[in-house]
Each structure stands twice: as C-alpha cells, then as structure tokens.
Amino acid sequence: MRKPIVAGNWKMNKTSSEAKDLVRQLVPLLDGVKGVDVVLCPPFTALAAVSEAITGTQIDLGAQNMHWEKSGAYTGEISAPMLRELYAHYVILGHSERRTYFGETDDVVNTKVRAALSSNLHAIVCVGETLEHRESGKTEQVVAEQLRGSLAGLNENDWQHIIIAYEPVWAIGTGRTASPEQAQEVHAFIRGTISNMQDSAVAESTRIQYGGSMKASNARELLSQPDIDGGLIGGAALDAANFAEIVKAAV
C-alpha cells in the first residue's frame, strides 16, 4: 500500500509572517487527519518560520529547489545541509517553472536529485508535457525522457526517497485540470517506465503525485484513480480550507 502524499508548493508567495498565519489556520483543520503525508514547501525565506510553526504537528517541511553543492561560491543559492538544519525533509526538483524560466535540464535535475539523496532529503521530482507536446502525441516520449534523464543512475535504496510529481505544464496555474482518465493514463505509463528503469517492486512502491490546478472540488475524483498517490498543489495550497480538503480527499 502506498501512503498518499499531498504537498503544497507555495511558489514565490507568503512572507514569513504571512506563512505563519497560513500554518496557524491549517493546523486545526488537519487535526486528527491520519494516513496521509502532508508537506508544506514555502519560499526559502519562510522555511524557518514554517518549521517552527509545524513543530509537534504531523506536517512536514519541504523546499522548492536547492543547489547540488553543499556550500561554495554560488551567489543566491541554498544547499541541502542548509535545508536539513531547518528540519526540511523534502525538496521539489525539476518543477516546470524551474525548467522553463531557469533553464534546468534533466542533467541538472539529476545532479540535484543525487545531492538531495546524499543529504537524506526526499526528492519530489516533477515531469510533464507542454500542450504542444500533448497535441502532437509526444506526451509519453517527453515524460519518459524526463524520467530517464532526471533519475538516471539511482539504486533501489535511492528510489525509496523519490516521489514523482506528474504535472502537465498546460494544467499548472491555468485552472485547466487533466481529466482523471488523462492523468491516470500518464501515471500508469510513469509506473511502467519506472518498472523498466528499475524493477516492478520499485515501480509499485513509488508514489506518483498529480499536479496541475488540483483543488478541493476536483481532488477526490483525481485521487481515486489507482495510480494517483497524492497531489502537488500550487494555487489551492495558499488557502488553508481548500488545501485541508484536498488532504482529506487523499486519505
């Protein structure tokens, strides 16, 4: 049985004090909710505040990105040990916004994944096709290339710390969601690709989140698909009630 996992990607939203307010609203809404991993990924500047605010709750902390080196002359960057010291246990890597606006390639994502694992972070690795890819029938080709490139060279133990987020680029922040059937089709394809890359046991145990305009009103249907093991939530994660409903739908 794969335990569902719901993560909130706050992107470049919320100052420290706003982040604390959001957590304060969220904690009572999730009181007593069990059987699901919940992760909040605020911007770097709010990590410490959120880390403190979630102490003693079942909520875990994640970052939205990191550098592959542990320290050094990389102005503006943040390393895995810096995240670990704030009690972050997850990091999102290869988000389509990082790939599009900051030129992150599969090789870069792979280097970051290895660095995250060597610092005992769980990596939430994002893959997904653009609308152009989908309309030209290239979804599977693109997703397979991203998986093989971003996750090259991992061993069985490494895979235990990998979560895949399938995020069709055309559904991110657009209000346009993949239908449950469209999402399930790609999730099943991703599981098959992991089986080919590693083996069927790893494929069966790897959690695959859906991301792309998931919200309280569509979460239940998406999350009831056999290969959808949770969600990576952008916009709806900025609203405590909406995010809490998604978490409950995942149980």
Site residues for ligand PEP per CB under 6 A: 9, 167, 172-173, 211-214, 232-236
User: Which is nearer to ligand PEP, 198 or 209 (by Cβ)?
Assistant: 209
End-to-end Cα spacing for the chain: 12
* Choice among 97, 167, 187, 245 that is catalytic: 167
Residue carrying structure tokens 């979804």: 139
User: Are 66 and 119 a contacting pair, CB within 8 Å?
Assistant: no
User: Tokens standing for 158?
Assistant: 């490494």
Examine the residue annotation and report whether 97 is marked as an active-site residue of this protein: no
Examine the residue annotation and report whether 167 is marked as an active-site residue of this protein: yes
Residue 3 and residue 122: Cα distance in Å, rounded? 14
Q: Which residues are CB-contacts of 72 (< 8 A; sequence separation ≥ 6)?
A: none
Shortest gap between Cβ of 155 and ligand PEP (angstroms)? 27
Phi-psi domain of 219 (left: phi exceeds 0; alpha: psi -120 through 50; beta: other): alpha
Residue 156 and residue 202: Cα distance in Å, rounded? 7
Residues with a known catalytic role: 95, 167
